[in-house]
């Protein structure tokens, strides 16, 4: 288990929005995208993919198309109506956007599907058992994380033939400890779950507050679930304004809205 930032490789050219890719996936189509390379403007500049925002629907659709074409051009992008749950759905075919299921993780063994997770501080987690041809993607906000969205994703992948000892996982850009201030009461459910989780909470400057290391917590959950190799790309969405959208940054500033970025993984279409 790797518990420090991974060495992600930027993927960018003049025709595609930039993203981060990791050798851990052995060449499997995937990418962690940020806010650069799209057509949205203003608050949502430029690669906003969030239909829950007030951005122009045509711009969102074009941004999502650019991401698909950069990673797996012949694939169908599938996303969810994310609700901060531990729920996982199995994807066997394309799903119309207006009837996407309420859940926070998805798995598949079907070629030609590009699984996508939207985030704006929460932890996007991509999974793969390359030998079995089974992939997954999860949205691990603190609620989903503590209630086991990553554990449930692994279990759902096993139902498709994956072996957890072979599964590799990567955490994308998310809010990091230096930016994630919480109340002391926020930590109580984590400490009740396991007193050792104290290691993910550190003193804050303000009395009665702590700094929460959510990527560290998610990595620990993956290790406890039997994932032998997992990495975090090491980018802080809240602190890196030019590269990433951030719900917390927008909230602290009283901004009227915020964009979402997309993390994707897919199995190639048959020749």
Structural domains of the chain, count: 1
Give pLDDT tens digits for 241-262.
Answer: 999 999 999 999 999 999 999 9
Q: CA 200, CA 204: separation in Å to the nearest integer?
A: 12
Q: How confident is the model at residue 4 (pLDDT cuts 50, 70, 90)?
A: very low
Q: How many CB atoms lie within 10 A of CB 193?
A: 12
Angle at 147 between CA 141 and CA 148, to 5 degrees: 90
Question: Is residue 230 included in any domain, yes or no?
Answer: yes
Structure tokens at 36: 């650069």
Question: Is residue 69 included in any domain, yes or no?
Answer: yes
Q: CATH no. for residue 145?
A: 3.60.140.10
Question: Is residue 196 included in any domain, yes or no?
Answer: no
Of residues 165, 176, 182, the one with CA closest to residue 243: 176
Question: Is residue 31 included in any domain, yes or no?
Answer: yes
Helix, strand, or coil (residue 85): coil
Report pTM.
0.95
Domain boundaries, position 165: 9-176+213-266
Q: How many CB atoms lie within 10 A of CB 251?
A: 11
Mean pLDDT of 11-39: 90
Question: Is residue 205 included in any domain, yes or no?
Answer: no
Question: Is residue 132 included in any domain, yes or no?
Answer: yes
Q: 104 near 156, Cβ under 8 Å?
A: no
Give pLDDT tens digits for 61-86.
Answer: 999 999 999 999 999 999 999 999 99
Of residues 263, 174, 240, the one with CA closest to residue 212: 174
Q: How many CB atoms lie within 10 A of CB 116?
A: 24
Supply the pLDDT for residue 215. Answer: 98
Mean pLDDT of 33-47: 97
Question: Is residue 201 included in any domain, yes or no?
Answer: no
Question: Is residue 182 included in any domain, yes or no?
Answer: no
């Amino acid at each position: 288990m790797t518990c420090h930032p991974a060495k992600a490789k930027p993927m960018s050219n003049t025709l595609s929005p930039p993203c981060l890719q990791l050798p851990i996936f052995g060449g499997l189509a995937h990418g962690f995208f940020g806010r650069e390379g799209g057509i949205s403007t203003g608050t949502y500049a430029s690669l906003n993919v969030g239909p829950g925002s007030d951005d122009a629907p045509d711009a969102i659709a074009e941004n999502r198309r650019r991401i698909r074409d950069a990673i797996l051009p012949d694939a169908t992008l599938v996303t969810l109506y994310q609700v901060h749950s531990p729920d996982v759905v199995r994807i066997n075919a394309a799903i119309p956007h207006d009837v996407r299921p309420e859940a926070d993780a998805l798995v598949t063994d079907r070629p030609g599907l590009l699984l996508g997770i939207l985030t704006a501080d929460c932890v996007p987690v991509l999974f793969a058992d390359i030998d079995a041809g089974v992939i997954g993607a999860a949205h691990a906000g603190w609620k989903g994380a503590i209630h086991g969205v990553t554990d449930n994703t692994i279990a759902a992948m096993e139902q498709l033939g994956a072996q957890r000892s072979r599964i590799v996982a990567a955490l994308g850009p998310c809010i990091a400890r230096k930016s994630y201030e919480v109340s002391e009461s926020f930590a109580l459910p984590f400490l009740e779950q396991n007193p050792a989780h104290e290691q993910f909470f550190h003193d804050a400057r303000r009395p009665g507050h702590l700094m929460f290391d959510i990527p560290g917590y998610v990595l620990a959950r993956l290790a406890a679930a039997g994932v032998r190799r997992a990495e975090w790309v090491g980018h802080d969405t809240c602190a890196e304004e030019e590269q990433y959208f951030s719900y917390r940054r927008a909230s602290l500033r009283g901004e009227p809205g915020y964009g979402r970025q997309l993390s994707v993984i897919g199995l190639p279409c048959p020749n």
